[in-house]
A and B are shown apart, each in its own frame.
Chain A
Amino acid sequence: MLVYLIRRLLQSVAVLLVMSVLVFVGVFAIGDPVEILINPQADQAEIARARAALGLDQPLWRQYALFVVNAATGDLGRSFVHNVPAIDLILQRMPATLELAVTATLFGVLLGVPLGLLAGLRPQSRIGKSIMAGSILGFSLPTFWVGLMLIMVFAVQLGWLPSTGRGETRRVLGIDLSILTLDGLRHIVLPALNLALFKLSLVIRLSRAGTREVVLQDYVKFARAKGLAQRRVVWVHVFKNIMIPIVTVLGLELGSTIAFAVVTETIFAWPGMGKLIIDSINLLDRPVVVAYLMVVVFMFILINLAVDLAYSVLDPRVRLSEVKG
Protein backbone atom coordinates (compact mmCIF):
# COMPACT_ATOMS: atom_id res chain seq x y z
CA MET A 1 0.00 0.00 0.00
CA LEU A 2 2.67 2.45 1.05
CA VAL A 3 4.92 1.35 -1.78
CA TYR A 4 2.09 1.89 -4.17
CA LEU A 5 1.42 5.37 -2.82
CA ILE A 6 5.06 6.36 -3.12
CA ARG A 7 5.22 5.01 -6.65
CA ARG A 8 2.12 6.96 -7.58
CA LEU A 9 3.48 10.13 -6.01
CA LEU A 10 6.78 9.84 -7.85
CA GLN A 11 4.88 9.24 -11.05
CA SER A 12 2.82 12.34 -10.37
CA VAL A 13 5.87 14.50 -9.82
CA ALA A 14 7.31 13.22 -13.09
CA VAL A 15 4.13 14.10 -14.94
CA LEU A 16 4.12 17.52 -13.31
CA LEU A 17 7.70 18.17 -14.47
CA VAL A 18 7.01 16.99 -18.01
CA MET A 19 3.92 19.13 -18.18
CA SER A 20 5.76 22.14 -16.83
CA VAL A 21 8.33 21.86 -19.63
CA LEU A 22 5.60 21.47 -22.24
CA VAL A 23 3.55 24.30 -20.87
CA PHE A 24 6.49 26.59 -20.43
CA VAL A 25 7.97 25.97 -23.85
CA GLY A 26 4.55 26.07 -25.43
CA VAL A 27 3.46 29.28 -23.85
CA PHE A 28 6.81 30.87 -24.52
CA ALA A 29 5.90 30.85 -28.16
CA ILE A 30 2.90 33.14 -27.71
CA GLY A 31 3.92 36.49 -29.15
CA ASP A 32 6.22 38.91 -27.44
CA PRO A 33 4.49 40.44 -24.45
CA VAL A 34 6.80 43.43 -24.43
CA GLU A 35 5.24 44.67 -27.63
CA ILE A 36 1.84 45.12 -26.09
CA LEU A 37 3.02 46.12 -22.65
CA ILE A 38 5.20 48.95 -23.58
CA ASN A 39 4.49 52.28 -25.14
CA PRO A 40 4.88 51.91 -28.95
CA GLN A 41 7.03 55.04 -28.99
CA ALA A 42 9.58 53.51 -26.61
CA ASP A 43 13.15 53.29 -27.90
CA GLN A 44 15.39 50.25 -28.07
CA ALA A 45 17.01 50.84 -24.71
CA GLU A 46 13.69 51.15 -23.00
CA ILE A 47 12.46 47.92 -24.58
CA ALA A 48 15.66 46.17 -23.54
CA ARG A 49 15.21 47.41 -20.01
CA ALA A 50 11.63 46.15 -19.93
CA ARG A 51 12.77 42.77 -21.26
CA ALA A 52 15.44 42.55 -18.62
CA ALA A 53 12.99 43.51 -15.91
CA LEU A 54 10.68 40.71 -17.00
CA GLY A 55 13.56 38.26 -17.33
CA LEU A 56 12.89 37.83 -21.03
CA ASP A 57 16.48 38.51 -22.07
CA GLN A 58 17.69 35.28 -20.50
CA PRO A 59 18.03 32.11 -22.59
CA LEU A 60 15.01 29.84 -22.57
CA TRP A 61 16.51 27.08 -20.44
CA ARG A 62 17.55 29.60 -17.82
CA GLN A 63 14.09 31.11 -17.77
CA TYR A 64 12.74 27.63 -17.25
CA ALA A 65 15.21 26.78 -14.50
CA LEU A 66 14.33 29.98 -12.74
CA PHE A 67 10.66 29.18 -13.23
CA VAL A 68 10.98 25.71 -11.68
CA VAL A 69 12.98 26.96 -8.71
CA ASN A 70 10.48 29.71 -8.11
CA ALA A 71 7.53 27.44 -8.70
CA ALA A 72 8.79 25.08 -6.02
CA THR A 73 8.52 27.94 -3.57
CA GLY A 74 5.06 28.84 -4.77
CA ASP A 75 6.16 31.72 -6.97
CA LEU A 76 4.81 31.34 -10.49
CA GLY A 77 5.81 34.78 -11.68
CA ARG A 78 4.08 38.14 -11.71
CA SER A 79 1.27 38.98 -14.05
CA PHE A 80 2.50 41.30 -16.80
CA VAL A 81 -0.87 42.97 -16.89
CA HIS A 82 -1.97 43.17 -13.28
CA ASN A 83 1.54 43.31 -11.81
CA VAL A 84 0.65 41.01 -8.94
CA PRO A 85 1.87 37.43 -8.34
CA ALA A 86 0.11 35.20 -10.88
CA ILE A 87 -0.56 32.53 -8.29
CA ASP A 88 -2.48 35.05 -6.20
CA LEU A 89 -4.69 35.88 -9.15
CA ILE A 90 -5.38 32.19 -9.71
CA LEU A 91 -6.01 31.34 -6.07
CA GLN A 92 -8.28 34.30 -5.73
CA ARG A 93 -10.43 33.03 -8.59
CA MET A 94 -10.23 29.37 -7.73
CA PRO A 95 -13.03 29.06 -5.14
CA ALA A 96 -15.58 30.38 -7.62
CA THR A 97 -14.59 27.77 -10.18
CA LEU A 98 -14.46 24.95 -7.67
CA GLU A 99 -17.82 25.88 -6.27
CA LEU A 100 -19.30 25.84 -9.74
CA ALA A 101 -17.68 22.52 -10.69
CA VAL A 102 -18.68 20.74 -7.51
CA THR A 103 -22.26 21.99 -7.67
CA ALA A 104 -22.48 20.85 -11.27
CA THR A 105 -21.08 17.41 -10.44
CA LEU A 106 -23.59 17.01 -7.62
CA PHE A 107 -26.40 17.88 -10.02
CA GLY A 108 -25.07 15.27 -12.38
CA VAL A 109 -24.82 12.43 -9.88
CA LEU A 110 -27.96 13.00 -7.89
CA LEU A 111 -30.10 13.19 -10.99
CA GLY A 112 -28.12 10.95 -13.29
CA VAL A 113 -27.71 7.75 -11.29
CA PRO A 114 -31.41 7.18 -10.52
CA LEU A 115 -32.40 8.05 -14.07
CA GLY A 116 -29.74 5.78 -15.51
CA LEU A 117 -30.73 2.90 -13.24
CA LEU A 118 -34.33 3.29 -14.25
CA ALA A 119 -33.46 3.36 -17.93
CA GLY A 120 -31.18 0.35 -17.52
CA LEU A 121 -33.76 -1.73 -15.71
CA ARG A 122 -36.43 -1.02 -18.30
CA PRO A 123 -34.54 -0.39 -21.51
CA GLN A 124 -37.55 -1.16 -23.66
CA SER A 125 -40.12 0.89 -21.77
CA ARG A 126 -41.22 4.31 -22.89
CA ILE A 127 -39.62 5.99 -19.90
CA GLY A 128 -36.36 4.13 -20.43
CA LYS A 129 -36.26 5.18 -24.04
CA SER A 130 -37.06 8.80 -23.32
CA ILE A 131 -34.39 9.01 -20.63
CA MET A 132 -31.91 7.63 -23.12
CA ALA A 133 -33.07 10.00 -25.84
CA GLY A 134 -32.64 12.85 -23.38
CA SER A 135 -29.17 11.68 -22.58
CA ILE A 136 -28.18 11.50 -26.23
CA LEU A 137 -29.52 15.00 -26.64
CA GLY A 138 -27.63 16.20 -23.58
CA PHE A 139 -24.47 14.70 -24.99
CA SER A 140 -24.94 16.34 -28.30
CA LEU A 141 -25.88 19.77 -27.05
CA PRO A 142 -22.80 21.95 -27.17
CA THR A 143 -22.32 23.42 -23.70
CA PHE A 144 -21.90 26.97 -24.85
CA TRP A 145 -25.05 26.93 -26.92
CA VAL A 146 -27.10 25.51 -24.07
CA GLY A 147 -25.70 28.29 -21.91
CA LEU A 148 -26.95 30.84 -24.41
CA MET A 149 -30.35 29.21 -24.55
CA LEU A 150 -30.60 29.10 -20.76
CA ILE A 151 -29.87 32.79 -20.65
CA MET A 152 -32.33 33.47 -23.42
CA VAL A 153 -35.16 31.54 -21.77
CA PHE A 154 -34.64 32.04 -18.04
CA ALA A 155 -32.93 35.40 -17.94
CA VAL A 156 -34.16 37.31 -21.00
CA GLN A 157 -37.61 35.90 -21.76
CA LEU A 158 -38.84 34.81 -18.34
CA GLY A 159 -36.61 37.01 -16.24
CA TRP A 160 -36.54 34.45 -13.43
CA LEU A 161 -32.84 34.07 -12.85
CA PRO A 162 -29.85 36.37 -13.24
CA SER A 163 -27.44 35.56 -16.04
CA THR A 164 -24.17 37.10 -14.93
CA GLY A 165 -21.89 37.12 -11.91
CA ARG A 166 -21.87 35.31 -8.61
CA GLY A 167 -24.33 37.42 -6.71
CA GLU A 168 -23.98 37.89 -3.00
CA THR A 169 -21.34 35.69 -1.40
CA ARG A 170 -20.66 34.70 2.18
CA ARG A 171 -17.18 34.18 3.53
CA VAL A 172 -16.51 30.82 5.17
CA LEU A 173 -13.01 29.96 6.34
CA GLY A 174 -11.67 32.77 4.21
CA ILE A 175 -13.42 31.57 1.06
CA ASP A 176 -16.29 33.37 -0.57
CA LEU A 177 -19.16 31.06 -1.47
CA SER A 178 -22.30 31.80 -3.42
CA ILE A 179 -24.30 28.76 -2.41
CA LEU A 180 -24.75 30.09 1.11
CA THR A 181 -26.89 33.05 0.20
CA LEU A 182 -30.22 33.08 -1.56
CA ASP A 183 -28.99 35.59 -4.10
CA GLY A 184 -25.88 33.53 -4.69
CA LEU A 185 -27.96 30.40 -5.16
CA ARG A 186 -30.07 32.17 -7.75
CA HIS A 187 -26.89 33.12 -9.55
CA ILE A 188 -25.33 29.66 -9.51
CA VAL A 189 -28.36 27.73 -10.78
CA LEU A 190 -27.98 28.52 -14.48
CA PRO A 191 -24.21 28.15 -14.78
CA ALA A 192 -24.19 24.98 -12.69
CA LEU A 193 -27.02 23.50 -14.71
CA ASN A 194 -25.18 24.41 -17.87
CA LEU A 195 -21.97 22.81 -16.70
CA ALA A 196 -23.82 19.77 -15.32
CA LEU A 197 -25.56 18.97 -18.57
CA PHE A 198 -22.74 16.97 -20.07
CA LYS A 199 -22.02 15.20 -16.81
CA LEU A 200 -25.65 14.35 -16.30
CA SER A 201 -25.82 12.73 -19.71
CA LEU A 202 -22.61 10.89 -19.04
CA VAL A 203 -23.79 9.58 -15.69
CA ILE A 204 -27.12 8.49 -17.16
CA ARG A 205 -25.34 6.67 -19.92
CA LEU A 206 -22.81 5.02 -17.65
CA SER A 207 -25.36 3.89 -15.13
CA ARG A 208 -27.72 2.67 -17.81
CA ALA A 209 -25.03 0.71 -19.61
CA GLY A 210 -23.71 -0.61 -16.31
CA THR A 211 -27.15 -1.63 -15.17
CA ARG A 212 -27.89 -3.41 -18.41
CA GLU A 213 -24.74 -5.45 -18.12
CA VAL A 214 -25.03 -6.10 -14.42
CA VAL A 215 -28.64 -7.28 -14.48
CA LEU A 216 -27.64 -9.99 -16.92
CA GLN A 217 -25.07 -11.32 -14.48
CA ASP A 218 -25.77 -14.51 -12.62
CA TYR A 219 -25.23 -12.86 -9.27
CA VAL A 220 -28.22 -10.61 -9.81
CA LYS A 221 -30.40 -13.56 -10.67
CA PHE A 222 -28.95 -15.39 -7.70
CA ALA A 223 -29.77 -12.42 -5.48
CA ARG A 224 -33.35 -12.62 -6.73
CA ALA A 225 -33.34 -16.38 -6.22
CA LYS A 226 -32.38 -15.70 -2.62
CA GLY A 227 -35.69 -13.92 -2.24
CA LEU A 228 -34.31 -10.41 -1.82
CA ALA A 229 -36.70 -7.57 -2.40
CA GLN A 230 -36.35 -5.80 -5.73
CA ARG A 231 -35.30 -2.67 -3.87
CA ARG A 232 -32.33 -4.40 -2.28
CA VAL A 233 -31.32 -6.13 -5.50
CA VAL A 234 -31.26 -2.80 -7.29
CA TRP A 235 -29.86 -0.49 -4.65
CA VAL A 236 -27.28 -2.87 -3.22
CA HIS A 237 -26.38 -5.54 -5.72
CA VAL A 238 -26.71 -3.55 -8.93
CA PHE A 239 -25.93 -0.11 -7.53
CA LYS A 240 -22.63 -1.11 -5.91
CA ASN A 241 -21.42 -2.64 -9.13
CA ILE A 242 -22.32 0.22 -11.41
CA MET A 243 -20.88 2.82 -9.05
CA ILE A 244 -17.33 1.63 -9.67
CA PRO A 245 -17.04 3.00 -13.19
CA ILE A 246 -19.19 6.00 -12.34
CA VAL A 247 -17.01 7.14 -9.48
CA THR A 248 -13.91 6.63 -11.56
CA VAL A 249 -15.22 8.54 -14.50
CA LEU A 250 -16.75 11.30 -12.40
CA GLY A 251 -13.56 11.78 -10.47
CA LEU A 252 -11.64 12.10 -13.68
CA GLU A 253 -14.40 14.29 -15.04
CA LEU A 254 -14.08 16.70 -12.13
CA GLY A 255 -10.87 17.82 -13.74
CA SER A 256 -12.48 18.31 -17.09
CA THR A 257 -15.39 20.05 -15.41
CA ILE A 258 -12.93 22.57 -14.07
CA ALA A 259 -11.42 22.94 -17.50
CA PHE A 260 -14.80 23.18 -19.22
CA ALA A 261 -15.81 25.83 -16.72
CA VAL A 262 -13.83 28.05 -19.09
CA VAL A 263 -16.80 28.03 -21.43
CA THR A 264 -19.52 28.37 -18.83
CA GLU A 265 -17.67 31.12 -17.00
CA THR A 266 -17.23 33.06 -20.22
CA ILE A 267 -20.94 32.88 -20.99
CA PHE A 268 -22.23 33.66 -17.51
CA ALA A 269 -19.44 36.10 -16.62
CA TRP A 270 -18.68 33.91 -13.63
CA PRO A 271 -15.54 35.35 -12.06
CA GLY A 272 -13.52 32.10 -11.90
CA MET A 273 -10.19 30.88 -13.21
CA GLY A 274 -11.59 29.97 -16.60
CA LYS A 275 -12.54 33.49 -17.49
CA LEU A 276 -9.13 34.62 -16.28
CA ILE A 277 -7.28 32.25 -18.58
CA ILE A 278 -9.22 33.29 -21.67
CA ASP A 279 -8.57 36.93 -20.89
CA SER A 280 -4.92 36.18 -20.22
CA ILE A 281 -4.45 34.28 -23.48
CA ASN A 282 -5.86 37.24 -25.35
CA LEU A 283 -3.68 39.69 -23.41
CA LEU A 284 -0.57 37.50 -23.77
CA ASP A 285 -0.23 37.56 -20.00
CA ARG A 286 2.23 34.69 -20.04
CA PRO A 287 2.85 34.14 -16.31
CA VAL A 288 -0.87 33.88 -15.63
CA VAL A 289 -1.37 31.38 -18.45
CA VAL A 290 1.54 29.29 -17.22
CA ALA A 291 0.40 29.55 -13.62
CA TYR A 292 -3.14 28.58 -14.52
CA LEU A 293 -2.00 25.57 -16.47
CA MET A 294 0.36 24.47 -13.74
CA VAL A 295 -2.31 24.83 -11.08
CA VAL A 296 -4.82 22.91 -13.17
CA VAL A 297 -2.29 20.19 -13.96
CA PHE A 298 -1.48 19.94 -10.29
CA MET A 299 -5.16 19.64 -9.40
CA PHE A 300 -5.54 16.98 -12.03
CA ILE A 301 -2.79 14.90 -10.63
CA LEU A 302 -4.28 15.16 -7.17
CA ILE A 303 -7.70 14.22 -8.48
CA ASN A 304 -6.36 11.21 -10.38
CA LEU A 305 -4.58 10.01 -7.29
CA ALA A 306 -7.73 10.39 -5.21
CA VAL A 307 -9.78 8.54 -7.82
CA ASP A 308 -7.33 5.65 -7.84
CA LEU A 309 -7.64 5.37 -4.10
CA ALA A 310 -11.42 5.61 -4.18
CA TYR A 311 -11.51 2.95 -6.86
CA SER A 312 -9.64 0.49 -4.72
CA VAL A 313 -11.98 1.13 -1.83
CA LEU A 314 -15.02 0.49 -3.99
CA ASP A 315 -13.79 -2.54 -5.86
CA PRO A 316 -12.42 -5.21 -3.55
CA ARG A 317 -10.90 -7.00 -6.53
CA VAL A 318 -8.47 -4.14 -7.03
CA ARG A 319 -7.03 -3.85 -3.57
CA LEU A 320 -3.91 -1.78 -3.76
CA SER A 321 -1.68 -4.48 -2.35
CA GLU A 322 -2.46 -6.50 -5.45
CA VAL A 323 -1.69 -3.70 -7.86
CA LYS A 324 1.93 -4.36 -8.54
CA GLY A 325 2.12 -3.36 -12.18
Chain B
Amino acid sequence: MHSDTRAPLGLKLSAIGGLIFLLAPIALIFVYAFTTEEKSFQWPPPGLTTKWIGVTLGRADVWEALGLSLKVAAISTTLALIMGTLTAAAVARSRFFGRETISLLVILPIALPGIITGISLRSAFSLLDIPFSTWTIVLGHATFCIVIVYNNAVARFRRTSGALIDAAMDLGADGVQTFTLVILPNIATALLAGGMLAFALSFDEVIVTTFTAGNQTTLPIWMLEELVRPRQRPVTNVVAMAVVIVTVLPILAAYYLTRDGEHTAGSDK
Protein backbone atom coordinates (compact mmCIF):
# COMPACT_ATOMS: atom_id res chain seq x y z
CA MET B 1 0.00 0.00 0.00
CA HIS B 2 1.32 3.40 -0.86
CA SER B 3 1.99 5.89 1.90
CA ASP B 4 -0.90 8.23 2.66
CA THR B 5 1.03 11.47 2.95
CA ARG B 6 2.92 11.28 -0.36
CA ALA B 7 1.12 12.08 -3.56
CA PRO B 8 1.62 9.95 -6.65
CA LEU B 9 4.12 11.64 -8.97
CA GLY B 10 1.65 12.03 -11.84
CA LEU B 11 -0.87 13.77 -9.60
CA LYS B 12 1.78 16.06 -8.16
CA LEU B 13 3.06 17.07 -11.59
CA SER B 14 -0.39 17.76 -12.99
CA ALA B 15 -1.38 19.76 -9.89
CA ILE B 16 1.75 21.89 -10.13
CA GLY B 17 1.25 22.24 -13.87
CA GLY B 18 -2.27 23.47 -13.15
CA LEU B 19 -0.93 26.03 -10.68
CA ILE B 20 1.52 27.34 -13.28
CA PHE B 21 -1.32 27.59 -15.81
CA LEU B 22 -3.31 29.61 -13.25
CA LEU B 23 -0.57 31.97 -12.14
CA ALA B 24 1.80 32.45 -15.09
CA PRO B 25 -0.47 34.73 -17.18
CA ILE B 26 -0.87 37.09 -14.22
CA ALA B 27 2.88 37.13 -13.65
CA LEU B 28 3.31 38.01 -17.32
CA ILE B 29 1.36 41.25 -16.80
CA PHE B 30 4.06 42.43 -14.41
CA VAL B 31 6.82 41.85 -16.97
CA TYR B 32 4.99 43.61 -19.81
CA ALA B 33 4.41 46.72 -17.66
CA PHE B 34 8.16 47.38 -17.93
CA THR B 35 8.81 46.51 -21.55
CA THR B 36 10.33 49.06 -23.93
CA GLU B 37 8.41 47.62 -26.88
CA GLU B 38 5.52 49.89 -27.89
CA LYS B 39 3.99 48.44 -31.02
CA SER B 40 3.59 44.73 -30.37
CA PHE B 41 3.40 42.09 -27.66
CA GLN B 42 6.92 40.88 -28.39
CA TRP B 43 8.44 38.24 -26.09
CA PRO B 44 11.02 38.35 -24.64
CA PRO B 45 10.88 42.12 -24.05
CA PRO B 46 13.72 43.86 -25.91
CA GLY B 47 14.46 46.02 -22.87
CA LEU B 48 13.06 47.13 -19.55
CA THR B 49 12.04 50.64 -18.49
CA THR B 50 9.97 52.34 -15.80
CA LYS B 51 9.17 55.25 -18.10
CA TRP B 52 5.56 54.15 -18.79
CA ILE B 53 4.57 54.27 -15.15
CA GLY B 54 5.24 58.01 -15.15
CA VAL B 55 3.42 58.45 -18.46
CA THR B 56 0.39 56.59 -17.11
CA LEU B 57 0.33 58.67 -13.93
CA GLY B 58 0.10 61.79 -16.09
CA ARG B 59 -2.90 60.58 -18.10
CA ALA B 60 -6.12 62.46 -17.30
CA ASP B 61 -8.44 59.91 -18.98
CA VAL B 62 -7.08 57.10 -16.82
CA TRP B 63 -7.59 59.14 -13.66
CA GLU B 64 -11.14 60.09 -14.64
CA ALA B 65 -12.06 56.48 -15.36
CA LEU B 66 -10.49 55.43 -12.08
CA GLY B 67 -12.44 58.12 -10.20
CA LEU B 68 -15.76 57.00 -11.67
CA SER B 69 -14.99 53.35 -10.90
CA LEU B 70 -14.13 54.15 -7.29
CA LYS B 71 -17.26 56.25 -6.87
CA VAL B 72 -19.56 53.58 -8.30
CA ALA B 73 -17.88 50.85 -6.25
CA ALA B 74 -18.18 52.88 -3.03
CA ILE B 75 -21.89 53.64 -3.49
CA SER B 76 -22.76 50.11 -4.63
CA THR B 77 -20.86 48.55 -1.72
CA THR B 78 -22.61 50.80 0.80
CA LEU B 79 -26.05 49.92 -0.59
CA ALA B 80 -25.12 46.24 -0.71
CA LEU B 81 -23.84 46.32 2.89
CA ILE B 82 -27.13 47.70 4.17
CA MET B 83 -29.45 45.45 2.18
CA GLY B 84 -27.25 42.35 2.35
CA THR B 85 -26.85 42.52 6.12
CA LEU B 86 -30.55 43.13 6.78
CA THR B 87 -31.50 40.22 4.54
CA ALA B 88 -28.90 37.94 6.09
CA ALA B 89 -30.13 38.80 9.58
CA ALA B 90 -33.72 38.04 8.64
CA VAL B 91 -32.93 34.80 6.80
CA ALA B 92 -30.52 33.47 9.44
CA ARG B 93 -32.56 34.48 12.49
CA SER B 94 -36.19 33.82 11.68
CA ARG B 95 -38.62 31.72 9.71
CA PHE B 96 -41.07 33.70 7.65
CA PHE B 97 -43.26 33.42 4.59
CA GLY B 98 -41.18 33.77 1.43
CA ARG B 99 -37.85 33.05 3.14
CA GLU B 100 -36.82 30.47 0.54
CA THR B 101 -37.87 32.80 -2.25
CA ILE B 102 -35.71 35.58 -0.91
CA SER B 103 -32.62 33.43 -0.49
CA LEU B 104 -33.08 32.27 -4.11
CA LEU B 105 -33.80 35.79 -5.37
CA VAL B 106 -30.57 37.08 -3.87
CA ILE B 107 -28.33 34.64 -5.76
CA LEU B 108 -30.19 34.97 -9.07
CA PRO B 109 -28.20 37.97 -10.38
CA ILE B 110 -25.01 35.90 -10.03
CA ALA B 111 -26.46 32.59 -11.22
CA LEU B 112 -27.74 34.02 -14.51
CA PRO B 113 -25.17 35.27 -17.03
CA GLY B 114 -24.28 38.95 -16.52
CA ILE B 115 -25.38 39.81 -20.03
CA ILE B 116 -28.98 39.02 -19.02
CA THR B 117 -28.83 41.41 -16.07
CA GLY B 118 -27.25 43.97 -18.37
CA ILE B 119 -29.67 43.85 -21.24
CA SER B 120 -32.75 43.63 -19.03
CA LEU B 121 -31.66 46.76 -17.16
CA ARG B 122 -30.84 48.47 -20.44
CA SER B 123 -34.23 47.71 -21.94
CA ALA B 124 -35.97 48.74 -18.72
CA PHE B 125 -34.13 52.08 -18.82
CA SER B 126 -35.16 52.67 -22.41
CA LEU B 127 -38.78 51.66 -21.71
CA LEU B 128 -38.94 54.10 -18.80
CA ASP B 129 -36.85 56.81 -20.53
CA ILE B 130 -34.26 56.88 -17.74
CA PRO B 131 -31.12 58.71 -18.93
CA PHE B 132 -27.74 57.06 -18.28
CA SER B 133 -25.91 58.38 -15.23
CA THR B 134 -23.66 57.21 -12.42
CA TRP B 135 -26.84 55.96 -10.77
CA THR B 136 -27.79 53.65 -13.62
CA ILE B 137 -24.36 51.99 -13.24
CA VAL B 138 -24.87 51.76 -9.47
CA LEU B 139 -28.27 50.15 -9.98
CA GLY B 140 -26.66 47.28 -11.88
CA HIS B 141 -23.65 46.91 -9.60
CA ALA B 142 -25.49 46.93 -6.27
CA THR B 143 -27.74 44.14 -7.55
CA PHE B 144 -24.90 41.64 -7.73
CA CYS B 145 -22.87 43.10 -4.83
CA ILE B 146 -25.72 42.23 -2.43
CA VAL B 147 -25.01 38.50 -2.90
CA ILE B 148 -21.41 38.84 -1.81
CA VAL B 149 -22.25 40.72 1.38
CA TYR B 150 -25.21 38.44 2.02
CA ASN B 151 -23.12 35.26 1.71
CA ASN B 152 -20.51 36.50 4.15
CA ALA B 153 -23.00 37.93 6.63
CA VAL B 154 -25.39 34.98 6.64
CA ALA B 155 -22.54 32.55 7.42
CA ARG B 156 -21.46 34.72 10.35
CA PHE B 157 -25.01 35.17 11.68
CA ARG B 158 -25.47 31.40 11.69
CA ARG B 159 -22.34 30.98 13.82
CA THR B 160 -23.19 33.80 16.23
CA SER B 161 -25.31 32.59 19.12
CA GLY B 162 -28.74 34.18 19.41
CA ALA B 163 -28.41 33.90 23.19
CA LEU B 164 -25.97 36.83 23.09
CA ILE B 165 -28.71 39.12 21.83
CA ASP B 166 -31.22 37.83 24.38
CA ALA B 167 -28.67 38.32 27.14
CA ALA B 168 -27.98 41.90 26.09
CA MET B 169 -31.68 42.68 26.04
CA ASP B 170 -32.24 40.98 29.43
CA LEU B 171 -29.46 43.08 30.89
CA GLY B 172 -31.30 46.20 29.85
CA ALA B 173 -29.70 47.18 26.53
CA ASP B 174 -32.16 48.76 24.15
CA GLY B 175 -32.36 47.89 20.45
CA VAL B 176 -29.77 50.42 19.33
CA GLN B 177 -27.33 49.46 22.09
CA THR B 178 -27.74 45.76 21.35
CA PHE B 179 -26.96 46.45 17.73
CA THR B 180 -23.90 48.68 18.24
CA LEU B 181 -22.42 46.86 21.26
CA VAL B 182 -23.25 43.20 20.60
CA ILE B 183 -24.32 42.46 17.02
CA LEU B 184 -22.03 44.80 15.14
CA PRO B 185 -18.74 43.72 16.83
CA ASN B 186 -19.69 40.10 16.12
CA ILE B 187 -20.34 40.55 12.42
CA ALA B 188 -17.83 43.35 11.75
CA THR B 189 -15.08 41.25 10.18
CA ALA B 190 -17.57 39.37 7.99
CA LEU B 191 -18.99 42.68 6.79
CA LEU B 192 -15.52 44.04 6.15
CA ALA B 193 -14.59 40.96 4.12
CA GLY B 194 -17.89 40.98 2.23
CA GLY B 195 -17.64 44.70 1.64
CA MET B 196 -14.12 44.46 0.25
CA LEU B 197 -15.03 41.62 -2.08
CA ALA B 198 -18.13 43.48 -3.25
CA PHE B 199 -15.98 46.55 -3.84
CA ALA B 200 -13.48 44.52 -5.85
CA LEU B 201 -16.28 42.94 -7.89
CA SER B 202 -17.89 46.28 -8.67
CA PHE B 203 -14.54 47.88 -9.44
CA ASP B 204 -13.89 45.15 -12.00
CA GLU B 205 -17.35 44.73 -13.53
CA VAL B 206 -17.62 45.23 -17.27
CA ILE B 207 -20.40 43.03 -18.71
CA VAL B 208 -23.31 44.71 -16.96
CA THR B 209 -21.60 48.10 -17.08
CA THR B 210 -21.39 48.24 -20.88
CA PHE B 211 -25.19 48.15 -20.91
CA THR B 212 -25.83 50.65 -18.14
CA ALA B 213 -23.03 53.20 -18.59
CA GLY B 214 -24.00 55.02 -21.78
CA ASN B 215 -21.05 57.21 -22.69
CA GLN B 216 -19.41 57.12 -19.28
CA THR B 217 -16.07 55.38 -18.94
CA THR B 218 -15.23 53.29 -15.91
CA LEU B 219 -11.78 51.79 -15.67
CA PRO B 220 -12.86 48.37 -17.00
CA ILE B 221 -14.59 50.07 -19.93
CA TRP B 222 -11.39 51.99 -20.63
CA MET B 223 -9.53 48.66 -20.59
CA LEU B 224 -12.10 47.09 -22.90
CA GLU B 225 -11.74 49.89 -25.44
CA GLU B 226 -7.99 49.38 -25.37
CA LEU B 227 -8.44 45.66 -25.85
CA VAL B 228 -10.73 46.04 -28.83
CA ARG B 229 -8.70 48.81 -30.46
CA PRO B 230 -5.20 48.91 -28.96
CA ARG B 231 -3.89 52.45 -29.30
CA GLN B 232 -1.51 52.82 -26.37
CA ARG B 233 -0.21 49.41 -25.40
CA PRO B 234 2.42 50.57 -22.86
CA VAL B 235 -0.16 52.59 -20.88
CA THR B 236 -2.56 49.64 -20.97
CA ASN B 237 0.21 47.37 -19.67
CA VAL B 238 0.80 49.64 -16.68
CA VAL B 239 -2.93 50.05 -15.96
CA ALA B 240 -3.34 46.25 -16.09
CA MET B 241 -0.56 45.83 -13.54
CA ALA B 242 -2.07 48.47 -11.27
CA VAL B 243 -5.49 46.79 -11.46
CA VAL B 244 -3.99 43.42 -10.50
CA ILE B 245 -2.33 44.99 -7.47
CA VAL B 246 -5.48 46.85 -6.43
CA THR B 247 -7.74 43.77 -6.72
CA VAL B 248 -5.29 41.38 -5.10
CA LEU B 249 -4.81 43.34 -1.88
CA PRO B 250 -8.47 43.10 -0.76
CA ILE B 251 -8.44 39.36 -1.55
CA LEU B 252 -5.45 38.76 0.67
CA ALA B 253 -6.96 40.94 3.40
CA ALA B 254 -10.32 39.15 3.17
CA TYR B 255 -8.48 35.82 3.37
CA TYR B 256 -6.76 36.81 6.60
CA LEU B 257 -9.97 38.20 8.09
CA THR B 258 -12.09 35.10 7.49
CA ARG B 259 -9.63 32.21 7.62
CA ASP B 260 -10.36 31.55 11.30
CA GLY B 261 -13.91 30.63 10.38
CA GLU B 262 -14.83 28.75 7.27
CA HIS B 263 -13.51 30.45 4.17
CA THR B 264 -16.62 32.25 3.06
CA ALA B 265 -14.58 34.86 1.30
CA GLY B 266 -14.53 33.82 -2.32
CA SER B 267 -16.30 30.53 -2.22
CA ASP B 268 -19.47 31.77 -3.89
CA LYS B 269 -18.46 34.56 -6.17
> Do A and B assemble together?
no
Residues of B at under 8 Å CB distance from A? none
Residues of A at under 8 Å CB distance from B? none
